[in-house]
Amino acid sequence: MTVKFKMSLVNSIRAQIPPVHPEGYPFIGGFAVVTLVLFWLWTPLGWVGVLLTLWCALFFRDPVRVTPVREGIVVAPADGRVSLVTLALPPAELGLGDQPLPRISIFMSVFNCHVNRSPVAGRIDRIAYRPGAFINAELDKASEDNERNSLVISTSNGRIGVIQIAGLVARRIVSFVREGQSIGAGERFGLIRFGSRLDVYLPEGTKSLVAEGQTAVAGETILADFRPGDGERTYRAD
C-alpha cells in the first residue's frame, strides 16, 4: 500500500512538471556546466547557478495545450500579456496591403513559455525574415525596428499575418515550419530566445475578443472568431 502511494505521489509530481523543448537542451546543459564551475569556485555562487539553471529549464518548457478546434477561430500564438489591440499598417514583407489592419500584440516576459503556436489552421504562404534592432519589445516601434520573422497563413476566412519579434534580450528567432506547409491551429511553429513579442494581423473588419492587459495562453486563448454564432467548438490536446 505504501509503495503504491509513493508511486502515485511521484507520478502526480511528474505530471505537474512540463516537458522541455529540445531547443533548450544545449542552453540548460551550458548553465549546468557553469553551475559546477561556480560550486568549485565558491559554494554560494553555485547555488545562484542552480537557480539560473532551473530558470533556463522553465524558460524552454513546452506544456501540453488544449486548443479549441473549429473553422474561424483565432487562438493566441504566445503566452504573455496582451499589450496592444489596435489598427496598424502591416509590414511590407507580409504582402497584406497598404491599409491598416486589426493587430493584436502579445508581450512575452522571460518567465513566459516561449514556444509559439499557430493562431489558425491553414497554409503557410510566406515566411519572411528581417534583421533589425533589439529594443524593448513592449514599445510599439519594435514592430518596425526589431529583428523579426513573419508568417502569412491563408485560411478560408482570409490571410493572417503572424510576426515573431525579438526583444531587448532575445538574439535568436527559431522557426520550425516552411513555406507551402499546412498547419493546424495550436500547432508549434517556432520560438524566440529570451523575451520578446508576437503580433497577429487579422483581416479587415475582424473584431478582437481580448483586451489590453489580459493574459493570453498560447493555443488556448481565443483572440477572435470569424463565425461567433456558428456551432460548438471541439478541442485537441497537443
Is residue 72 classed as helix, strand or coil in its secondary structure?
A: coil
| Cross-strand bridge partners of residue 75 | 222
Separation of alpha carbons 215 and 44, rounded Å:
36
Pick from 121, 156, 115: nearest CA to 233: 121
State the CB neighbour count (10 A cutoff) for residue 11: 9
Q: What is the DSSP letter of 65?
A: -
Instruction: Name the amino acid, one letter, at 124.
Output: I
Which residues partner with 115 through β-bridges?
A: 191
| DSSP codes, 89-135 | PPPGGG---SS-EEEEEEEE-TTS--EEE-SS-EEEEEEEEE--B--
Stated as kind and residue range, the H or E segment containing 160 is strand 158-166
The rounded distance, in Å, linking the Cα atoms of 149 and 236 is: 27
Q: Are 68 and 62 in contact (CB under 8 A)?
A: no
Residues annotated as catalytic are 196
In a 3-state reduction of DSSP, which class is residue 142? Answer: helix
